[in-house]
Structure 1
Amino acid sequence: MKFLKKALKITIVLLVLILVGGWLYSKTYHPKYDGEIELKNLSEKVTVYFDEVGVPHINAQNQQDAYTALGYLHAQDRLWQMELIRRIASGRLSEIFGKDLLDKDIFFAGLGIEEAAEKTIDNLDKSSEPYILTQAYLEGINQFIEDGKTPLEFTLVGVKKEKYTIKDVYNVFGYMAFSFAVAHKTDPLLTEIKGKLGESYLNELIGSNSENLTIIKSSIPDKINATISKKVAAIMDDLPVSSFIGSNSWVIAPEKTKNGKVIFANDPHIGFSQPSVWYQNHIKTPNFEIYGFNIALMPFPLLGHNSEYAYGLTMLANDDLNFYVEENNPDNSAQYKTSEGYKNYKIIDKTIRVKNEKDTSFQVKVTKHGPIMNGLISHLEDERPIAMNWIYTQLNNEQLDIIYGMSHAKSLDDFQQAVAKINAPGLNVMYGDAKDNIAWFASAKLYQLRDGLSTKTYLNGASGKDEVIEYLPFSENPKAINPPWHYVYSANNQPDYVRGKLYPGYYQPQDRAKRIVELLEQKDDFTREDVAKMMFDVKSSTVTEIANDLLKSLDNSKLTISEKKAVETLKNWDGTYLKNSVGATIYNRFLYEFLKATYKDELGNNFELFINSQLQDEVLPIQILRKQSVWWDDITTTKKVEVRAEIILNSFKETFAFLENQLGENVDDWHWSRVLSVEHEHAIGKAGGLLRKFFNVGPFETIGGNEVINNQIFKLDSTGYYKVTAGPSTRRIVDFSDVENSLAILPTGQSGNIFSEHYKDQAQKFLNGEFVKMKLNRTQIERSKNVLILMPKK
């Protein structure tokens, strides 16, 4: 007994020591939000006020000091995030995570992002303001690396801190640009469908491009075994940082607002992760001010505002990436065929370091179209050399000047000149200002191929007939400036005509766009509160019509009483994705079963890729209404052709049986909240167990679904559970009638430091549709409890 008491006392003492040690460790590694720090290369004192959600309000006498301060502060909250994102494009994840990420490193290292960065940096004007301020920002980051506390993740994984350079900044540009691209997920699949199933199967999929559209209108003042698709999709899905996906934005002109001033709204859709993708900050000097949202290692914000103007973006989804089939010289494998004769492949040697393993070396073969994907993607079954032609690496890159220009514009004309330089990724850039201007710009380097050539299947690299004929001037890009309908918007949907044709791309279906337009057309007295409510809207403008079109072909006489109740529930559903919605649960399972019955037999292992693609979303409402379709035939049966009604009946019965087994016999209990959840995963938290609980944020119940304004993006699959992987990366509202009280929210929190009080302090507010203030008022800012003074180092 005495032994047990002694052991218990020892255990208690150890637990107390562990708890005290953990507490002391957390205080040591907590970001410094008050007090005084000395920094090199400051010319004068910089005062930083941290508000109640940890946003730094940086007051400096000049921009160079301000950006040095920003770099230091950004690093103390997000150094681990910076470390991960800079390693992606250069193929350096295996160096810290081991051989499991080798395929991702080989792929990204071969894309040409690093080579494009080096070329761009060699040609930069080293005396320009964007370059000087970027170097100041990097200097701030590197001072934190020298003097600040090493984040816990570095210790756990065993990573040594390294200084950052401008090449890291451009590598992040490259990763961001690639994550916006869509063609690599679709073109190989469509090529396979065309080659193995035939033109009729392909045409039914891509023939829907001009149907069921809500087009963003221009208005200018009178002034099948698609290995590439599957492999790249897997690479992008499993990366330890966020991928860029979609977005909403709308800007309302004074004629449609209650207070007679512009209201700006934007919520970019990005993969959920911890920390959140955006770092908020507010810089003020005697002659400059910007409240910005920065990506790790980007000195200037992609989203921003001040008292004069606001800007944001969504993904344009134009086609800026194509695949070319090359032809080797039969007598010399070091050459490939062109219309001008055989040319030598450019050979680039690459080496990847792998944790606890030997280094991996490989070669990248490059044609005039781009790198050969064979070898960069493991087990690529196409024996032909496939080159990836990507505008981002093909044309000059002016990204640093662009984001500097967007954040330093003095007028709408200044702003337009900056976004006109965008080549890739294509962006819908949104703008509103205090002078009552609103604007939308489809910003990308658009191009023209010969008539009749589709960019959605492989092009011929050897003939010379499939080359870009012309790059279009920005003046011909779709845009709207102060249109007569008094609003502009984007939901990644089809932009207006270019040279009399709809420009090809991978645009999202009309669902969100249609709903945005419906709501904007309802009234002419919008307030900030109306827009906040609108951003949290979870009603689909299309799913009820799709569901009813499916149910029209359902033979009720072949259903049980319980099945009929499920049918009535779905019929009465208004398309709203609330927690207690039963219709949402039935609809999404029914959709999965219908798609499986229609496409799986032909697509085989590519089925999961197809049903979660933009292509499927686009073709769905048309396919449902087709009385005859090559896709109706189940090629695994002896029947000649299945009919639509039979497929729909069987799909609904499979739906009911699955949900009854999953959620119980009572249809009324099939609530959406039982199958939908969201968790913000940290790269280390993905390992599970205690690490998951310590680093991840969530899981939570939530509301919303695919392609509603509060877009909660998940994949349809056989499990019947929907884990949200992406959604609004921030929600922002700038009201120029009261710009000092503009609103924003992040999905988790401002800091990526696990010991910070701001690691997840916004998570519940985000789930509730709440906002916090983006402070511009100096008096309010100076009431902050936490004040950090950055002094020039003596």
Structure 2
Amino acid sequence: MKRFKKILKVILIIVILLVAGIWLYTRTLHPTYDGELELAHLNDEVTVYFDDYGVPHINAKNQTDAYRALGYVHAQDRLWQMELIRRIAPGRLSEVLGEKLVEVDMFFSGLGITEDANKAIAKLDKNDKPYQYTKAYLDGINQFIENGPTPVEFLLLGVKKEKYTIEDVYNVFGYMSFSFAMAQKTDPLLTEIKEKLGVEYLKELDIPIYEDTAILKNEKNPELKAATAKAMSKIYENLPVSPFIGSNSWVIGADKTKNGKVIFANDPHIGFSQPSVWYQSHIKTPDYEMYGYNLALTPFALLGHNRNYAYGLTMFENDDIDFYFEENNPENENEYKTPTGYQKYELLRKTIKIKDKPDTTFQVKVSQHGPIMNDLLNEVRSERPVAMQWIYTKLDNRILDVAYQMSHAGSLDDFKAGASLLHAPGLNIMYGDANNNIAWFASGKLYKYRDSLNTKLILNGADGKDEILEYLDFEQNPQAINPNWNYVYSANNQPDSIAGILYPGYYLPEDRGYRIEQLLEEKNDWTSEDVQKMIFDVTSPIVVKNIENMVASLDTNDFYENEQKALETLNEWNGEYAKEKNAPTIYTRFLYEFLKNTYKDEMGDAFPEFLSTHLMKKVIAVQLARGESVWWDDVTTDQKETKKEIIQTSFKNTVAFLEKQLGANVADWSWNKVASVEHGHALAAGGEMLRNTFNVGPFNMDGGNEVINNQLFKLDSTGYYKVHAGPSTRRVIDFSNVENSMSILPTGQSGNVFSDHYDDQAQKYLNGEFVKMLLNQGEIEKSKNILIFKKK
């Protein structure tokens, strides 16, 4: 017995020592938030105050030192995020995550982002401040790589750390630009609808603009395959980094606020992930100050404010990608037809390195329009080569200058000059300042084709008739400066006419724009607190109109009790997506049944891809309001169905489905039973233990698709709505009290799982709460954690 007790004691001691050792080791992996560190190449000492939420307030005597310090602190919180995002454009994800990412790597490496980056970098003036500050920022990151602890993700996957270069910065900008685009999902689908179903079907998907719509002022029935659209959905599903999706912003002029100063609001909608996309930082030097939000590997804040001005962005959603059918030379497949004869494709050889597997090599053909997509997406089996023309790689890239000038503007005119340099991605850039100026600029290089050309279809690349005829001057872009209605806003909705046309794009429906206008028009005494409440608003007035159109087609004579209760629930609903409400569950399931019964018989395998487009969201209200439609008829039956039959069947199917899913009591069908959000880490796919360690959530939440608090989920057959994107930050800046401006992140500031700031904002975000963005130096200097960078 004594011997057994001794063995137990030894085992216990070993376990204690092992636990203690692991604990001590993990302590070495924490970010350094206080103390002193040496940093090479500094001109002077830099002091960094970390506030209660881990935001670094960098006090330096010059901007070069400030950006070097920013690089270091950004890397210690977000190096793994930097590593993943820099690998997307050159096609290097498979190197660390394995062969499941090969198709993603092939696609992105073939887009020409890295080639475009090298061209842009070669043209940079190496003595300009944007270049010098970027190099300092990268030096700070590289010094962390050399001297700081290795993040646990690198250790778990066996990833070797590599120094960062300015090419990585441009590759991030390139990925960001491409992820905004919607053409790659929509154009191939619409082309198939036209070619296989006919023009009549296509016309009804070309959503008209009505007078009362909220716009930004200024062969018979074959099965569709939609291979390109399906391939693009697969690419995005496999990406371990958040894509950019939508956004809201509004700026309220002084005459509409209680205190007579501008109030600025912005919440960009981006795919949820852990860590969250934005890194907050506050730089202060004798000649510069900016409280900013940076993407991984971007030195200059893309969202920001100081005491003088605030700026932010939403996605423009303009059409800046076009597809072309090329015509190969029948005698030589390496040549394609042009109006002046056959030209040779540019041939690029690409190699993808794959973890634990041999490398794979492939060839990309590039025409005058761009890379041939057949070479990049396995699903594209078209006999006709399909080229992708993208304005981002077609014109000179000055995106580093754009970010620098917007974050260093001395006036509204300076800011506008910076915004005018952007050619892609298309962004609505929002502005407000302490001098009571407000402005909105739809930035991006816009262009015109011949009249009546539908650029949402795949164009003819051979005859020369479908080429760009004219690039528009920035002054022709949609914009508003100090308008007499005293506010500007953007919710990714259709802008007013541009150069005499409604500019083509992949705009989102009017729901959020309509609600923003509705709320802003109601009062002229806005406060910061009012705007904070508004940015968390979850009510859709458009939903109420949709339900009215639905109910008008229902025959309730044979409704049984639960069908009657479900209908009463919808009729009493004001469109509020609160988690305890039952109506959102009923309405969202009805939408799926309605869209399925309307479109799936004709679209076949393409239907899931249709559900992933902005087009699907735009068609809902229009189709519910229609009396006649070619889409109503179910082509799989002998009889011809009507709108009433489609809606009646859809509603009855909705109730039957929810009874099976959630039980017989309609009162139990609350939104929180079916809708949830979880912020996923790239390692979570490795198993439940990694998921529980690295993911944040799951949570129930208020909000839904296309309300101001936009919680985006995929509409599918499951009846469960896993939110995959939403407000990546919420910011409210009140120039009457700028030192008490507020913001929030979805999870936390740090991407280091051992940091206290990994998820310390998550619950506040869900509750609609905010955290102060400190500008007051006295408050900042009370920070508990102070890190001093000494000259090495």
For the aligned pair, the TM-score class normalised by the smaller chain equals over 0.9
Shift of 1:13: 3.8
Q: Determine if the alignment matches structure 1 residue 779 to structure 2 residue 778.
A: yes
- 1:334-362 Cα offsets, whole Å, 9 max, x none, are 11000111101001111110011111101
172-181 or 602-611: bigger deviation: 602-611
Q: Distance in 1 between matches of 2:515 and 2:11?
A: 60
Closer/same/farther in 2, CA of residues 659 and 15 from structure 1, 3 Å limit:
farther
- 1:368-396 Cα offsets, whole Å, 9 max, x none, are 10000002001312110000000000000
For residue 676 of structure 1, what is the aligned residue in structure 2?
Answer: 675
- 1:421-455 Cα offsets, whole Å, 9 max, x none, are 11000000000000000000000100000001011
Q: Distance in 2 between matches of 1:497 and 1:210?
A: 13
Q: Distance in 1 between matches of 2:555 and 2:589?
A: 19
- 1:79-103 Cα offsets, whole Å, 9 max, x none, are 0000000000000000001111000
The gaps in structure 1 that reach 5 residues or longer are 219-223
Q: Distance in 1 between matches of 2:238 and 2:602?
A: 27
- 1:242-269 Cα offsets, whole Å, 9 max, x none, are 1000000000000000110000000000
Closer/same/farther in 2, CA of residues 42 and 582 from structure 1, 3 Å limit:
same
SS of the equivalent of 2:204 reads: helix
TM-score, length-normalised on structure 1?
0.98
For residue 377 of structure 1, what is the aligned residue in structure 2?
Answer: 377
Q: Distance in 1 between matches of 2:570 and 2:467?
A: 49
For residue 221 of structure 2, what is the aligned residue in structure 1?
Answer: none
For residue 621 of structure 2, what is the aligned residue in structure 1?
Answer: 621
Q: Distance in 1 between matches of 2:703 and 2:428?
A: 24
Q: Determine if the alignment matches structure 1 residue 762 to structure 2 residue 766.
A: no
Shift of 1:54: 0.3
SS of the equivalent of 1:364 reads: strand
**One-letter amino acid of the counterpart of residue 46, structure 2:** V
For residue 665 of structure 1, what is the aligned residue in structure 2?
Answer: 664
Q: Distance in 2 between matches of 1:311 and 1:63?
A: 20
Shift of 1:210: 5.3
Closer/same/farther in 2, CA of residues 7 and 703 from structure 1, 3 Å limit:
farther
Shift of 1:14: 4.4
Q: Distance in 1 between matches of 2:341 and 2:475?
A: 36
- 1:31-65 Cα offsets, whole Å, 9 max, x none, are 00000000111010000000000000000000000
Q: Distance in 2 between matches of 1:9 and 1:637?
A: 76
Q: Distance in 2 between matches of 1:533 and 1:53?
A: 22
1:512, 1:541 within 8 Å by CA — same for their partners in 2? no
For residue 595 of structure 2, what is the aligned residue in structure 1?
Answer: 595
**One-letter amino acid of the counterpart of residue 785, structure 1:** K
Where in structure 2 are the equivalents of 1:275-354 lying within 5 Å?
275-354=275-354
For residue 221 of structure 1, what is the aligned residue in structure 2?
Answer: none
Where in structure 2 are the equivalents of 1:191-206 lying within 5 Å?
191-206=191-206
Closer/same/farther in 2, CA of residues 6 and 571 from structure 1, 3 Å limit:
farther
Q: Distance in 1 between matches of 2:207 and 2:526?
A: 38
For residue 527 of structure 2, what is the aligned residue in structure 1?
Answer: 527
The gaps in structure 2 that reach 5 residues or longer are 219-223
Q: Distance in 1 between matches of 2:190 and 2:514?
A: 27
Q: Determine if the alignment matches structure 1 residue 688 to structure 2 residue 687.
A: yes
Closer/same/farther in 2, CA of residues 485 and 11 from structure 1, 3 Å limit:
farther
1:68, 1:136 within 8 Å by CA — same for their partners in 2? yes
Q: Distance in 1 between matches of 2:567 and 2:17?
A: 60
Closer/same/farther in 2, CA of residues 3 and 507 from structure 1, 3 Å limit:
farther
Q: Distance in 1 between matches of 2:651 and 2:174?
A: 45
747-756 or 553-562: bigger deviation: 553-562
2:51, 2:784 within 8 Å by CA — same for their partners in 1? yes
**One-letter amino acid of the counterpart of residue 490, structure 1:** S
Q: Distance in 1 between matches of 2:259 and 2:690?
A: 49
Q: Distance in 1 between matches of 2:552 and 2:18?
A: 64
Q: Distance in 2 between matches of 1:75 and 1:541?
A: 44
2:207, 2:622 within 8 Å by CA — same for their partners in 1? no
133-142 or 559-568: bigger deviation: 559-568
**One-letter amino acid of the counterpart of residue 274, structure 2:** Q
**One-letter amino acid of the counterpart of residue 394, structure 1:** K
For residue 217 of structure 1, what is the aligned residue in structure 2?
Answer: 217
Shift of 1:612: 3.1
1:213, 1:509 within 8 Å by CA — same for their partners in 2? no
Q: Distance in 1 between matches of 2:473 and 2:517?
A: 29
Q: Determine if the alignment matches structure 1 residue 356 to structure 2 residue 349.
A: no
2:374, 2:380 within 8 Å by CA — same for their partners in 1? yes
Q: Distance in 2 between matches of 1:642 and 1:3?
A: 84
**One-letter amino acid of the counterpart of residue 187, structure 1:** D
Where in structure 2 are the equivalents of 1:143-154 lying within 5 Å?
143-154=143-154
For residue 711 of structure 2, what is the aligned residue in structure 1?
Answer: 712
For residue 545 of structure 2, what is the aligned residue in structure 1?
Answer: 545
For residue 721 of structure 1, what is the aligned residue in structure 2?
Answer: 720
Q: Distance in 2 between matches of 1:588 and 1:504?
A: 29
Where in structure 2 are the equivalents of 1:426-505 lying within 5 Å?
426-505=426-505
Q: Determine if the alignment matches structure 1 residue 634 to structure 2 residue 657.
A: no
TM-score, length-normalised on structure 2?
0.98
**One-letter amino acid of the counterpart of residue 463, structure 2:** S
2:180, 2:244 within 8 Å by CA — same for their partners in 1? yes
- 1:741-768 Cα offsets, whole Å, 9 max, x none, are 1101000000000100000000001011
Closer/same/farther in 2, CA of residues 764 and 341 from structure 1, 3 Å limit:
same
For residue 398 of structure 2, what is the aligned residue in structure 1?
Answer: 398
Q: Determine if the alignment matches structure 1 residue 190 to structure 2 residue 151.
A: no
Shift of 1:580: 1.1
SS of the equivalent of 1:631 reads: coil
**One-letter amino acid of the counterpart of residue 185, structure 2:** K
2:226, 2:609 within 8 Å by CA — same for their partners in 1? no
Shift of 1:688: 3.0
For residue 136 of structure 1, what is the aligned residue in structure 2?
Answer: 136
Q: Distance in 2 between matches of 1:672 and 1:215?
A: 30
**One-letter amino acid of the counterpart of residue 291, structure 1:** Y
Q: Distance in 2 between matches of 1:721 and 1:17?
A: 45
SS of the equivalent of 1:711 reads: coil
Shift of 1:774: 0.5
2:182, 2:613 within 8 Å by CA — same for their partners in 1? no
1:212, 1:510 within 8 Å by CA — same for their partners in 2? no
Shift of 1:499: 2.0
Shift of 1:16: 2.6
For residue 54 of structure 1, what is the aligned residue in structure 2?
Answer: 54
Q: Determine if the alignment matches structure 1 residue 649 to structure 2 residue 648.
A: yes
Shift of 1:622: 1.6
Closer/same/farther in 2, CA of residues 452 and 2 from structure 1, 3 Å limit:
farther
Q: Distance in 2 between matches of 1:32 and 1:278?
A: 20
Q: Determine if the alignment matches structure 1 residue 161 to structure 2 residue 161.
A: yes
The sequence identity of aligned pairs, in percent, is 63
Closer/same/farther in 2, CA of residues 47 and 256 from structure 1, 3 Å limit:
same
Q: Distance in 2 between matches of 1:379 and 1:711?
A: 32
Q: Distance in 1 between matches of 2:128 and 2:524?
A: 45
Shift of 1:628: 2.0
SS of the equivalent of 1:557 reads: coil
Shift of 1:237: 2.4
Shift of 1:10: 5.4
2:231, 2:379 within 8 Å by CA — same for their partners in 1? no
- 1:552-577 Cα offsets, whole Å, 9 max, x none, are 11110121122111111111111001
567-576 or 311-320: bigger deviation: 567-576
Shift of 1:225: 1.6
**One-letter amino acid of the counterpart of residue 656, structure 2:** A
2:589, 2:719 within 8 Å by CA — same for their partners in 1? yes
Q: Distance in 1 between matches of 2:35 and 2:330?
A: 70
493-502 or 308-317: bigger deviation: 493-502
Q: Distance in 1 between matches of 2:5 and 2:586?
A: 57
1:494, 1:508 within 8 Å by CA — same for their partners in 2? yes
Shift of 1:78: 0.3
**One-letter amino acid of the counterpart of residue 580, structure 2:** N
Aligned length: 787
**One-letter amino acid of the counterpart of residue 536, structure 1:** F
2:594, 2:647 within 8 Å by CA — same for their partners in 1? yes
2:226, 2:605 within 8 Å by CA — same for their partners in 1? no
For residue 107 of structure 1, what is the aligned residue in structure 2?
Answer: 107
